[in-house]
Structure 1
C-alpha cells in the first residue's frame, strides 16, 4: 500500500511543478501532456526505493529525465525558447523542493504525510509565482503594442492591443488577468448584443445579455468589478473566459476578456502589463 501512496504523492507534486512552470512562462499546455509528464516523474521516483538503481539518480540521468518531461509537456518554436522553458522548470524544481523540505524541517511534521507535503509544494509554487512575477515586472518593456490572437470557443479573433499600465484588472474569483477588448471584435460570435453600452453595465443589463447567449457562451461569463479614478463608485465589466490568447507565438491561458466599447481606431484591446512581461 505504501508504494501506491508514494506514487500518488509524487504524481501530484510533479503535476504542481509542471503547472507552476506553465504559469510562470505563460505557456498554454494540454492537461493530458501535464499528466503524462507528471506520471513519468512519478514512475522515475519509484527507483528511489531500489538501491540497485542508484545509477538512475546521477546528474546525467536526472538531466535526461527532466529534459524528456519538458519535451512531453511543452511546445516550443526555437532552441532559445526551449532553453528558457527548461531553465524555468529547473528553477521551479529547486525552489519547491528546497522550500518544501525547509517547511518540513521547520515544523517538524513527518514528511511522509502525503497531504502535508502536497500542501507544502502548492504553497511553495504560489510563493514562487509572486517572486517570479515581481522580478519580471522590473524588466523594461519597450514595445507598447502587440498583435494578439484571441481563441474563444474554438474561433480565432485577431486584433491590435495596447499595453496599458492602468489595466491591472483581475477576475476576483479566479484571479485571472483581464484583457480589455472591444465588443466589435466578436461581431461574428455575438451579433445580437453589440448594441449595448458596455461602458455602463449593471446587473440587470448583464442578465439581459446572458439570456440572449447560448449555454456554451453564458457559462464563460464573468463579472469584473472596477473603479474609475477619482470615483469611489464601483462599476462592472462583462467578462468572457477565453480559451487562450496568443502573443508573439506564445499561447497564454487563464485569461478573461473584458468587453467594452472604448473609442480608438488604432487598437482593439488593452493588455494587462502582467501578461506582456511574461511573454
Structure 2
C-alpha cells in the first residue's frame, strides 16, 4: 500500500491552471504597463494607490473576458494574477518557485519526492505517509524478537554485534518514524481539520467582502473534500471537487450575499462535484 500510494503520488499529473483563466494579450499588456517592474520582475507591492486602482479595474475586465469569478485577493487587496504564468489565479492557487508554474490548490513542493503536492495528488501523498509510518512501526515491533532472544540465550559476547545492530535500528527507525513521518501525519491532520493547506497556514487566504472568511466547512466536510466520496484508505481517485471551486464560510453574514459564484452558463451544466455557489 505504501508503494502503491507513492506511485500514485509520483505519476498523477500535477493540477495546473486551465487555459480558460488566461486573458487576452491586450489585457495582459495593459496590466503590466501599470505595474512597477524592477530586477526583471513585476513588484505589485510598490504600486501607487492609483496604479492599484487601475490594476483592479483591468483584473475585473480579465475575469469578465475569461468568464470566471474568483474570491481570493492578494496581499494588496487585488484579484490574484500570476505575472510569470500569465493568467488569473483560481482560488487557492499558488505559484511554485521550484517548478516555476502555478498549481491549483497548492499545498507545498515536497523535496522527498521532488514534485508539487496539489489538489490532484494530495490524498495519495497523505496515504503514502500513513502507510510508510505503519511500515516503520511494524518493523520496530517485529524486531523486538531479536532483543528478546539476546537476553534469553545470554550469549553476551558472541551476539553483542547483533544487539548493537538492533539498538541502532531501533533508534534510527524510531526517529524516522516520529520525525518526519509521525509529525507530518499530525500536522496534516490539523490542516485538514481546518481545511487549510500548508502554505495557507503560514499565509492565510484573503477573501473578498469578509477578511475573516475561510474554507472551514466542518471537520467531516473538510476530510471529505480531501479524501472524496469513499474508499479513503485506498490510493484511487475518489475526489468530488475540481480544485478550482470551493465553498466559503463567511463570518460577516450581512456581506455574504454580495458574492455569489456563477460562472455564466457553466453553472447550470456543472458536474455534480463542482461547487457553483458559496
TM-score when scaled to structure 1? 0.25
Structure with the larger RCO, 1 or 2 (CA within 8 Å, 6+ apart): 1
TM-score, length of structure 2 as denominator length: 0.25
Query: Whose helix proportion is higher, 1 or 2?
Result: 1
Larger CA Rg, structure 1 vs 2: 2
1 or 2, which has the higher strand percentage?
Answer: 1
